[in-house]
Amino acid sequence: MTRTRVLTGITTSGTPHLGNYAGAIRPALEASRDPSVESFYFLADYHALIKVQDPARVQRSTLEIAASWLACGLDPAQVWFYRQSDIPEITELTWLLTCVAGKGLLNRAHAYKASVDRNRAESQDDDAGITAGLFMYPVLMAADILIFNADKVPVGRDQIQHIEMARDLGQRFNHLYGEHFTLPEAAIEAHVATLPGLDGRKMSKSYDNVIPLFAPREQLKKLIYSIVTDSRVPGEPKDADASNVFQLYRAFASDEHAEAMRGAFEVGIAWGDAKQALFERIDAEISPMRERYEALIAKPADIETILRDGAQRLRERYARPMLAQLREAVGLRDLSSVVVAMSNDVEKPAPAMFKQYRDADGKFYFKLVQGERVLLQSAGFDAPRDAGQCVAALKVAGRLGDAHACALGEGVTTDEVDAALALMAERVE
Ligand code: TRP
């Protein structure tokens, strides 16, 4: 069974807060328990460098985010958990994609455009203070996604355009060089909570209104008590739906408890009592994880080992073979595979090559052709990566063997195919 690949990246530029937990960490870990899903979670530390140029902060944030996900229940034996900068193939792919990325496409990226608009509003040069890193952000992100042929990428609305760009770049590459990439889809989880922050606006580091996920108990209590409310007195009915306190409560309570709290609002619960109930509810969910978090963060070397191990296995399993295939596709090839034309050869057959394509039936195929002749024709595959893997296997083997997904072309013998494959054979590290 091919599992659906779901990939999530977290920029390592801050400390996780309750909004990240309810909006991303908790739903992602729940989804990863589905056996039909293969999950990828990574710390996007290259992305962090685009906005944070304080090395200690990047390091600290990487540690805190890794420890948070582990404390919340991520099991590195069940999912892929790694750090972007431990996979050099991601940056290598970034360059391959850069070379098919239209500059005009990148000009239209929201984050870049917003910076240009700000500059214009301040009558500055369009590109004042804008790094090429910010401009290239979507290409790096596309490489994160495409390198593992992710099917789904759960993101907030602000990231949808980036997923579309990843599709776009993947499609362009496929068009030029054959079907190598799965085109990813954004998964917008409608039922996932967006939490209000202390001031009632969306909880976000940029509004400075967050409750850190693993704030010590006393600090958690203090922050919850500082949530802005209206001035209704005890006994006065309160509108639950308009209240930040209630929104937060609902994100951490069962439906039953949330309904009971709604009732308490209707009959005029005091704000102090509502906040105390909220504090107790959040603390009950967070405190076992907080203990694990504190134990983890006290042993950063163990987290380092976990991340390196994840990256190493992932590189072996997917990243290196993928890049070997892509390098071959674009022509960064082993020169010893060049068929040297010898002047005294009467007639050298044209070199054989693989062509990958998608047919009208929606399936993915490949064939091995030599000039006009079709030497091999594959059966249809549901996913382009399966076709790509079959091609890669044939190239590595250098002979047909028992590649059962292929039929010989008309009048073609196994020996001919083996000879053609032997000439193409190349080492895949
Ligand atoms: N840009 C994402 C954010 O800021 C983080 C990210 C980097 C990401 N690479 C990714 C998310 C790949 C999903 C897939 O939230």
214-295 — its CATH code?
1.10.240.10
Q: What is the pLDDT of residue 339?
A: 74
Domain positions in the chain are 4-194+299-326, 214-295, 335-428
Q: Find out whether the beta carbon of 87 lies less than 6 Å from any atom of ligand 1.
A: no
Decide whether any atom of ligand 1 lies within 6 Å of the 153 Cβ: yes
Of 313 and 416, which is predicted with more confidence?
Answer: 313
Taking all residues of the chain, what is their mean pLDDT, rounded to a whole number?
93
**Which pLDDT score, from 0 to 100, does residue 396 have?**
82
Q: Which residues of 174-192 are buried (b: 16+ CB within 10 A; e: fewer)?
A: beebbbbbbbbebeeeeee
Which of 41, 47, 146 is the pocket-test mutation for ligand 1 (most atoms within 8 Å of CB)?
Answer: 47
Summarised one tens digit per residue, pLDDT across range 372-392 is 889 999 999 999 998 988 888
241 by Cβ neighbours in 10 Å (0-12 / 13-18 / 19+) ranks as: exposed
Q: Is the CB of 144 under 6 A from ligand 1?
A: yes
Atom of ligand 1 nearest to the CA of 162: 1
Asked whether 141 lines ligand 1 (CB < 6 A), one says yes
Residue of the CA atom closest to atom 4 of ligand 1: 11
Question: 381 C-alpha vs ligand 1 centroid, how far in Å?
Answer: 30
Per residue in 338-358, pLDDT tens? 877 665 655 666 788 999 999
Query: Residues 127-146: pLDDT tens digits?
Result: 999 999 999 999 999 999 99
Strands (E), 261-410: 352-358, 364-370, 373-378, 406-408
Ligand 1 atom with least separation from CA of 84: 9
Class of domain 4-194+299-326: alpha beta
Give yes or no for residue 166 CB within 6 A of ligand 1. Answer: no
pTM score, two decimals?
Answer: 0.79
d(CA 276, CA 389): 57
Query: How far does the centroid of ligand 1 lie from the alpha carbon of residue 188, in Å?
Result: 14
Is 1.10.10 the CATH number for 335-428?
no
